[in-house]
Amino acid sequence: MQPEDTLQQNNTQVSIIIPTYNESQNIIQILKSIKENLPKNFITQAIVVDDNSPDGTGRIVDDYLKNFKKVADYTIEVIHRKAKDGLGSAILKGIQQAKGDMIVVMDSDFSHPPQIIPKLIESIKKYQCDIVIASRYIKGGKIQGWSAKRKLMSKFATLIAKKGLGIDTKDPMSGFFAFKRNIIKELNIDAIGYKILLEILVKTKGVRIKEIPYTFQNRKLGNSKLGIKTILDYYRSVWKLYRYGKPQEIQEKRSSVKFLSKAARFYTVGASGFAVNYLVSLLFAGVVSDMWYLHANIIGIIASVTTNFILNKAWTFGDRDFRIKKTVSQYGKFAMFSSLGALVQLGMVYFLVDGAELAYPLALILGVMTAAFGNFILNKKYTFKEKITE
Ligand code: GDD
Ligand code: MN
């Protein structure tokens, strides 16, 4: 090896990211074991990312660090997050704080044997690659201590990832891997759920990947945090990754879908307005005052137009800009279209019942639907200034 080469390697830093949630029984042991298995000739930084574990994991690490005998070229840090925000985002947080040019990600429950860490790092050099994955699903890899059900779930999830996302890595769901930090520099990582490696694999194109076998050991102490939410998050993230990099029409929701979903919201708001109208009209004509019923009904109408306006603005059309001038002018248009809608409805019901001899209940439904649809289009275009087909 050339002397410059050695020098370069000595300056290279490795950061090991260790997420924890309720790992009080494992964390100190794993930190000790990592210390025994540091990659040689590197400056290493271990970063524990704890999500305010109720069992005091974060505090235990703080106490341990008070008496931690410094070893040359090795430091440990803890990031204390306020709440359990998920494994992926914990790892991302650690990566953001990492100083290393190379990053290792691993669990804290001894499922990922620290003896593999030096191999992961050496393999990056040896195979000249960007990501090295400790793999359960290549020759020589194993899983110990998982039920048949959990194995099947893992296999199934892996299959979905490989087929759905066109990945040919054998273990894209591994939580144990190392990579060169610069490959994710430009990426926007969502870190939904557990599988941050999968996201990195989808979003980095053309990087060199190597898998090395290891035996995954189910934890002996503490509990797995994998629950139904994690599993749902997984499928949500696969769906999101599936859309990633696809043409714009697939990435963005199709405009027809948007149009229909907004129309559905507009109708829902309309139905809620009916309830507001009815209740307020009753209240003012009896409970809170004994107003003349027509006056009470006017208040009911104004109340429902107002709640409809606010809900449609904020929810249906996602316009959260409530500056007075703009909002008042929008409200004016909205109220005007509502009155117009009422007239259209009256006219239509009259025409259908008297002219076309339709039954009144049916005429009413058609009248309400038409008026609401007209209102939707007019408000979309003129009140909230959207293209009709967007
Ligand atoms: N900070 C933080 N926040 N850490 C978390 C959270 C969280 O919300 N959820 C889990 N962890 C930590 C755990 O403390 C543990 O160190 C590690 O993440 C893995 O969690 P486990 O609950 O032990 O996961 P598992 O053993 O079921 O799943 C493992 O196997 C999968 C392979 O199928 C993990 O290694 C996965 O990453 C891996 O993909
Ligand atoms: Mn585990």
Contact between residue 164 and residue 238 where contact means Cβ atoms under 8 Å apart: yes
Tell the residue nearest (CA) to atom 13 of ligand 1: 20
Average per-residue pLDDT for the chain = 90
pLDDT for position 247: 65
Residue 330 is encoded by which pair of tokens?
A: 């929008």
Is pLDDT at 2 greater than 50 in this prediction? no
Q: Which residue has the tokens 């490696």?
A: 197
Is pLDDT at 4 greater than 50 in this prediction? no
Atom number of ligand 1 nearest to Cα 174: 39
C-alpha to C-alpha distance for 233 and 17, rounded to whole angstroms? 22
Average pLDDT for 243-268: 77
Which of 50, 52, 111, 192 for mutating ligand 1's site (highest number of atoms within 8 Å of CB)?
A: 111
Is pLDDT at 158 greater than 80 in this prediction? yes
Atom number of ligand 1 nearest to Cα 224: 22
Atom number of ligand 1 nearest to Cα 225: 22
CATH superfamily of 3-239: Spore Coat Polysaccharide Biosynthesis Protein SpsA; Chain A (3.90.550.10)
Separation of CA 49 from chain center: 19
Helix (H, G, I), strand (E, B) or coil at 188: coil
Helix (H, G, I), strand (E, B) or coil at 78: strand
pLDDT for position 260: 86
Q: Rounded to whole angstroms, what are the CA distances from 334 to 23, 61, 178, 340, 344?
A: 56, 59, 57, 10, 15
Q: Which residues contact 176 (CB under 8 A, 6 or more apart)?
A: 105, 106, 107, 111, 112, 116, 120, 133, 134, 214
Q: Which residue has the tokens 């003349």?
A: 292
Is pLDDT at 5 greater than 50 in this prediction? no
Higher-pLDDT residue of 246 and 323 is 323
pLDDT for position 95: 96
Which one of the ligands is nearest to 58 CA?
1
Angle at 187 (CA atoms; ends 138, 112), nearest 5 degrees? 35
Contact between residue 209 and residue 118 where contact means Cβ atoms under 8 Å apart: no
pLDDT for position 299: 92
Which one of the ligands is nearest to 26 CA?
1
pLDDT for position 294: 84
pLDDT for position 7: 42
Residue 120 is encoded by which pair of tokens?
A: 């992961």
Average pLDDT for 188-212: 90
Report percent pLDDT > 90 for the chain: 64
Pairing of strands 13-20, 43-50: parallel
pLDDT for position 69: 80
Which of 226, 229, 233, 237 for mutating ligand 1's site (highest number of atoms within 8 Å of CB)?
A: 226
Ligand 1: lining residues by beta carbon, under 6 Å = 19-21, 23, 49-51, 84, 86-87, 90, 107-109, 111, 154, 173-175, 194, 219, 224-226
Higher-pLDDT residue of 39 and 285 is 39
C-alpha to C-alpha distance for 94 and 102, rounded to whole angstroms? 13
**Structural domain boundaries in the chain:** 3-239, 254-383
C-alpha to C-alpha distance for 304 and 274, rounded to whole angstroms? 7
Is pLDDT at 173 greater than 80 in this prediction? yes
91 Cα to the center of ligand 2, angstroms: 15
107 Cα to the center of ligand 1, angstroms: 6
Q: Which of 122-126, 141-145, 172-176, 369-373 shows the lowest mean pLDDT across its residues? A: 369-373
Note the pLDDT tens digit of each residue in 78-115.
999 999 999 999 999 999 999 999 999 999 999 999 99
Higher-pLDDT residue of 26 and 245 is 26
Note the pLDDT tens digit of each residue in 349-364.
998 988 888 888 888 8
pLDDT for position 1: 44
Which of 21, 135, 199 for mutating ligand 1's site (highest number of atoms within 8 Å of CB)?
A: 21
Any bridge partners for residue 309, and if so which? none
pLDDT for position 3: 45
C-alpha to C-alpha distance for 49 and 108, rounded to whole angstroms? 10
Residue 313 is encoded by which pair of tokens?
A: 């603005």
Atom number of ligand 1 nearest to Cα 154: 33
Among 37, 12, 5, 40, which Cα is nearest to 122's? 40
| pLDDT tier at 254, thresholds 50, 70, 90 | low
Report percent pLDDT > 70 for the chain: 95
Is pLDDT at 252 greater than 70 in this prediction? no
C-alpha to C-alpha distance for 271 and 274, rounded to whole angstroms? 5
* pTM summary value: 0.67
Tell the residue nearest (CA) to atom 36 of ligand 1: 175
Ion ligand 2, residues whose Cβ is below 5 A away = 109, 111, 219
* Type of residue numbered 20: T
Q: Which of 65-74, 151-160, 181-190, 336-345 shows the lowest mean pLDDT across its residues? A: 65-74
Q: Which of 232-236, 248-252, 273-277, 342-346 shows the lowest mean pLDDT across its residues? A: 248-252
Average pLDDT for 185-210: 89
Which one of the ligands is nearest to 224 CA?
1
pLDDT for position 10: 56
Name the maximum alpha-carbon separation found in the chain: 99
Among 35, 36, 177, 32, which Cα is nearest to 106's? 177
C-alpha to C-alpha distance for 213 and 158, rounded to whole angstroms? 16
Is pLDDT at 253 greater than 80 in this prediction? no
pLDDT for position 256: 72
26 Cα to the center of ligand 1, angstroms: 13
128 Cα to the center of ligand 2, angstroms: 30
Average pLDDT for 200-223: 94
21 Cα to the center of ligand 2, angstroms: 11
Average pLDDT for 204-226: 93
Any bridge partners for residue 17, and if so which? 47, 105
193 Cα to the center of ligand 1, angstroms: 10
